[in-house]
Amino acid sequence: MSFTRLSSLADLPASLRGAYVAIGNFDGLHRGHQSIIDALRQRAGAAGVPALMLTFEPHPRDVFAPAPFMFRLTQGDAKARLAACLGLDGIVILPFDHAFSQTEAEDFVETILVEQLGVRGVITGSDFHFGRQRRGTPAFLRAAGQRLGFAVETLDLMDEGDEPISSSRIRAALSEGAVTAANRLLGYHWFFDGCVVQGDQRGRELGFPTANTMTPTGFQLAQGVYAVRARLGQRLFDGVAAYGKPMFDNQRPPFETHLFAFDEDIYGQTLQVALIGHIRGQEVFSGLDELIAAMDRDSNKARALIAEVAPLGELDEKLGFFG
């Protein structure tokens, strides 16, 4: 079965009805989430039914905030890509807004899960709640499953160190530039994409032309310099990237990626960037000569980090940043 992405249950094909379904926000689809997906695939395989993810966009916290503020690890496109690489049959990304938030827990179960999806079983994390005023607790869902004839499994959070693996923990790591720690918790090298836009051409003047991508609202990656692996269509490139412009205008800066041995006009194209390692924080230099010398050092460090990098597992390989 090929992977199917849906934004409405009205379009649900008959082949996906009666699936085992994992439900949650799944921001980042980190190793804790992946344990839920592993269980989902096992249960679906044993029952001979599809394995489906049901998730929501935008993140509910952004809907209730005065303005979007969440540092999102995976927007919808990235979440769908990860779900496909994890071997699911499909993903349903339901639009989440104030009206949807008022859905009663009973209606969510009876209308969405039973009538529209015809679920064979449901798997969630132990922290998942749903419905108006979050009345849909794990206990509520188990009772509903017993009453309406579908299996329910609730999995505990996965720990690493002294605390659970969580999206918030990964966000905190990335906001401090702790790329290695964040990637370890994710189980893959964190990536994002953006449309290449025209910048101020300052990098080209300094001998380091960059592909500039605008970052979404709420992007809270630590400003600094990073070793990166980038995908442009089916092509892979190594590079060094900078986020933040302390010597120039630093208001919502673009993410600037210098691709090694590359000189093409790619404005308007989508560049996907995976973080390999953190090189340094942002610094202010006394002049352009000192800045250029630092950029040379950064490039050498990036090449060294990339030369030693390896996929963190099967998922990391399937994402396509390692050729």
Tokens of 109: 């179960």
The model's pLDDT over 105-130, given as tens digits with 9 standing for 90+, comes to: 999 999 999 999 999 999 999 989 99
Tokens of 296: 């040379």
Strand, coil or helix: 70: coil
The model's pLDDT over 193-212, given as tens digits with 9 standing for 90+, comes to: 999 998 765 655 556 788 99
CA contacts within 13 A on the Cβ side of 320: 14
Report pLDDT for 176. 97
Report pLDDT for 67. 74
The model's pLDDT over 253-278, given as tens digits with 9 standing for 90+, comes to: 789 999 999 988 899 999 999 999 99
Note the pTM of the prediction, 2 decimals.
Answer: 0.93
Tokens of 307: 């030369």
Report pLDDT for 281. 93
Per-residue pLDDT for 1 more than 80? no
At 251, the pLDDT band (50, 70, 90 cuts) reads low
State the helix-helix crossing angle for 167-175 and 179-186, rounded to 10 degrees.
160
